[in-house]
């Protein structure tokens, strides 16, 4: 009997040490045997199924015998499996053993590496966004803005970001050197260090005056604990006078379903969080908030979203919006409303198979639509360039949006202060260029802080 081993609810996994700011996976062991069903078909004519399998065998043998270059049976079979799955929709796929291991590393949130968050700039150069505190990279003196020229003396020119990250990862206690170019330094620097177990830094937090800010880059096993630690730290730093919180889910592609539920529950103490509806009714689920779950005890909450906020991020955003617990500010989210099941194949990786759609507490399906913020604010005056699909609706073979309550408007919000109407939908002409190391240049964040101030003022006035 086939057992489902996990639910994927995200758009994509980070492929690097942490490749830029940024799928959603819930891995749950539900049995001891994993495999592909041996039944030829649940319904229909088995004779037709045998005929089609015979056709597959004929093509397999022809390619094996006559393709211009020798090809292994494994490659042919794995390509066939992947073609079968990717032909269904944009999120079903086959993962070979290595890809499956990488996915498991990503969901655990730890790996052998250096502790660098890196990205690829417009010129194709590998650039350090930030070293993670107390890791080999930070102790070796690697700084934000450093350009990585070579790894162990070999140039990174021509490598993809994922390839470069793969070379920097490795077994703990192994040595590695990076050749870096630093602004203001004439000669390249060679930095040597030793790999360690790295825990992905999924949360970042700081105070904007007396307003807390927490950025959540993905949903892995470290997300809910990291969020809780960040909120506790902010409460302490503010001397217990925290006015409100901004939760930044921009460019967060998702992660573990149980973490999305846990993060939602960190701000809710009642109500539904999300429900899933599968082909078989017995596989459908509903997740509800637990009492006394709100870590900030009703303080004003603003959630930042954009077109890079997908899946698990949309579950959290939808739960907080539908329960009128948070005001969403930013731009429309990605729109991935499907659930994938991870089915391990013994010794041969795993498959990701779309098995359900998910719905927000009001019954909305965001599939192909995304979540519309309560207050629309663009990050810049000019529309950003999008080399990759901007939203789910831009992908090939997307699921239809069915079974939801999308035609019904959401209940009117009584908690949005009048100030929200004064917030401009784009920065002024003289607004400085965005620098991730300088929060003052983040227009959406600064407007969110102003909104928190207005919400806190309105709440204080109502309490008089």
- Catalytic center residues: 311, 322, 336
Cα R_g (the chain), whole angstroms? 24
- Specify the 3-state DSSP secondary structure of 276: strand
Dist CA 362 CA 317 (whole Å): 12
- Token pair 């009997």 is at which residue? 1
- Bridge-based pairing state of the strands 211-216 and 203-208: antiparallel
Dist CA 236 CA 438 (whole Å): 23
173: left (phi over 0), alpha (psi -120 to 50) or beta: left
Q: What share of the chain is helix, strand, coil (3-state, %, to 5)?
A: 30, 25, 50
Q: Which two tokens stand for residue 147?
A: 């350009």
Torsion sign across C-alpha atoms 18, 24, 29, 35: negative
Torsion sign across C-alpha atoms 101, 102, 106, 107: negative
How many helices and strands, by DSSP H and E, does the chain display? Answer: 9, 21
Packing angle between helix 73-86 and helix 46-66, nearest 10 degrees?
Answer: 130
Q: Give me the phi and psi of 76, to 5 degrees please.
A: -65, -45
162 burial via Cβ count (<10 Å: 0-12, 13-18, 19+): middle
Torsion sign across C-alpha atoms 322, 323, 324, 325: negative
- Token pair 């004064």 is at which residue? 422
Dist CA 185 CA 107 (whole Å): 38
Taking Cα atoms as reference points, which of 219, 308, 264 lies closest to residue 7? 219
Torsion sign across C-alpha atoms 97, 102, 105, 106: negative
127, 145 in Cβ contact below 8 A?
Answer: yes
């Amino acid at each position: 009997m086939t057992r489902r081993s996990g639910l994927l609810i995200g758009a994509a996994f980070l492929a690097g040490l942490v490749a830029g700011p940024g799928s959603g996976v819930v891995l749950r062991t539900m049995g001891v045997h994993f495999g592909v069903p041996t039944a030829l078909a649940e319904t229909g004519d088995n004779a037709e199924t045998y005929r089609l399998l015979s056709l597959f065998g004929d093509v397999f043998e022809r390619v094996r015998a006559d393709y211009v270059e020798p090809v292994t049976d494994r490659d042919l079979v794995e390509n066939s499996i992947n073609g079968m799955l990717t032909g269904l929709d944009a999120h079903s796929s086959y993962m070979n053993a290595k890809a499956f291991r990488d996915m498991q590393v990503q969901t655990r949130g730890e790996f052998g590496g250096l502790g660098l968050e890196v990205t690829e700039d417009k010129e194709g150069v590998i650039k350090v966004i930030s070293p993670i505190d107390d890791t080999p990279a930070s102790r070796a003196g690697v700084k934000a803005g450093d350009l990585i020229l070579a790894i162990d003396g070999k140039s990174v020119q021509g490598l993809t970001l994922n390839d470069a990250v793969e070379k920097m990862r490795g077994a703990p206690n192994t040595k590695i050197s990076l050749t870096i170019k630093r602004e203001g330094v004439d000669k390249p620097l060679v930095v040597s260090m030793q790999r360690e177990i790295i825990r992905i830094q999924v949360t970042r937090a700081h105070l904007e005056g007396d307003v807390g800010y927490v950025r959540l880059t993905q949903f892995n096993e470290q997300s809910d604990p990291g969020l809780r630690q960040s909120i506790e730290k902010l409460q302490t730093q503010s001397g217990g006078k925290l006015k409100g919180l901004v939760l930044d889910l921009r460019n967060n592609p998702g992660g573990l379903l149980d973490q999305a539920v846990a993060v939602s529950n960190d701000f809710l103490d009642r109500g539904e969080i999300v429900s899933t509806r599968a082909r078989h009714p017995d596989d459908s689920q509903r997740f509800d908030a637990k009492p006394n779950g709100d870590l900030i005890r009703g303080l004003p909450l603003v959630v930042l979203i954009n077109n890079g906020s997908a899946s698990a991020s949309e579950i959290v955003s939808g739960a907080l919006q539908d329960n009128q617990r948070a005001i969403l500010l930013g731009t429309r989210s990605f729109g991935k409303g499907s659930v994938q099941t991870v089915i391990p194949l013994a010794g041969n990786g795993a498959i990701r198979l779309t098995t359900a759609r998910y719905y927000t507490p009001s019954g909305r399906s965001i599939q192909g639509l995304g979540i519309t913020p309560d207050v629309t604010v663009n990050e810049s005056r000019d529309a950003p360039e999008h080399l990759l699909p901007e939203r789910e609706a831009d992908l090939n073979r997307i699921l239809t949006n069915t079974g939801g309550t999308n035609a019904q408007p959401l209940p009117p919000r009584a908690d949005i202060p009048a100030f929200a109407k004064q917030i401009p939908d784009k920065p002024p002409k003289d607004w400085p260029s965005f620098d991730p190391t300088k929060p003052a240049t983040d227009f959406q964040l600064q407007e969110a802080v102003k909104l928190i101030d207005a919400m806190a003022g309105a709440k204080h006035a109502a309490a008089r």
